[in-house]
A = this chain, B = another copy of it.
């Protein structure tokens, strides 16, 4: 079997037709959902690209792998999904974005050459690279945000697009009435068509690279196809720029009560620049139709892949997963972007199609189990026929759910966010180690703990599914808060770093030291069988020193 692990960047859980969006049509996402299971309570381990992806790729919580923010390198030697799959006999390839930053100092300390196979995999989060392009070719007075090379920019230049950065000048910009560049970085331009032929834009380009990859494969493969879209800059080529308009923009999910005595961290986020922008209706009315157009384009390109798999008979032996690294507030809760723990930010789409007969029982159904993004890695290892190294992988295989079983499951989902490099950290005057947030969600109650001496936040999604009313403002819910803190404390004691010895090896080692002569409890030797003490008996031989 093959595994097609498709990730979209910043795709909200509820911006899909099959998830009930009132205006957005996504027939191809819906097509996979009809063949598989749509998990309706799937959460990321961190609502920010880099940290979230490192959890997808390691199957471990952010506090376990340590790469807690964009650009924080994943420590050398951390074992990834690709390592686990290769051990199970399946190659694991990257097509698109990872947001991985190599641990260059760690690699140098261990003498790993970046151009060796081992070094290259260490630098690429374990993947073999078909094509890597992180899709953010932002440029400023201090140069490019991404120090790497951009195969996509190279592609555009090969198509004849002029300039140093056609990603910015064409794929992510329109043209204004004066004939000037209308940058997609500016929300007022979000309703303009990107100045690029649709088939040259990012999503079709990566789809074509994916079809190239599939055509070149022989043995079983796992491909992580990782699109940058619908991530900002919010601008999309024709015809997608005109498919949706202000009339298709849902009202913002926000409430005046949220601005009354807000938690200081939440308050700092509501005051940041992107939040201020998305609090303006004209921003939502410009941006959200573009965001919907980008998703619709992703859906059409997904259709290209699905059609190819069907036409080549590979749909019957290819597992397909559709997910995202986090959501997008889009003005909900008075916020833009992601990073905090309201559902629009931390909850993700998660659709899993398993072609095998064992999964027939659940096709076209939904599952509301509390799923974490770290569950995919063990799911893939089990699907590949490997043994899940549960002393390393902290997630749990989803295959039982696909078979219609109801396994014992986790009591809560955990998510984390380290905002130490952000302006909010500066505004709050916090040391880096105090800039850490934790979410504990048990399926009904959602607690946010903030380091640095702040009170928590608490929402009851049974009575307040829109998460408007922070119940931690008063004392009425101390018991629930204590209970959720208890779940967080249990999680904090997990054995996450005992990665060099498996549980099976520990069981096998029990009692072995006796048979290797470790007997620090004998009075006269009668306590154990003679063979255990044989090496310590016999006639004393003379000492060479003659004493």
Contacts and interface: CB of A to CB of B under 8 A. Distances in A.
Given A122-B110, A517-B140, A539-B179, A66 B500 contact: yes
A64 B497 contact: yes
A243 B142 CA distance: 74
B544 A160 contact: yes
Interface stretch (A222-230, A262-270, A302-310, A415-423): A415-423
Interface residues of A, number: 135
A497 B55 CA distance: 13
A522 B187 contact: yes
A538 B180 contact: yes
B109 A112 contact: no
A88 B220 CA distance: 49
Q: How many copies does the complex hold?
A: 2
A196 B519 CA distance: 21
A510 B421 contact: yes
B144 A63 contact: no
A343 B289 CA distance: 66
Contact of A145 (B186, B503, B517): B517
B500 A105 contact: yes
A498 B66 contact: yes
A274 B514 CA distance: 13
A336 B233 CA distance: 67
Interface in A255-283: 272-274, 276-277, 280, 282-283
Interface of A: 63-68, 71-77, 79, 83, 103, 105-106, 109-112, 116, 118, 122, 136, 138-145, 159-163, 165, 168-170, 173, 175-176, 179-183, 185-188, 195-197, 200, 232-233, 272-274, 276-277, 280, 282-283, 336-337, 418, 420-423, 425-426, 431-433, 436, 438, 449, 451, 485, 488-489, 491-501, 503, 506-507, 509-525, 527, 531-541, 543-545, 547
17 contacts: A64-B497, A66-B499, A67-B498, A74-B500, A75-B500, A76-B110, A109-B118, A140-B531, A142-B515, A144-B516, A185-B533, A187-B522, A187-B523, A273-B527, A418-B495, A436-B495, A489-B489
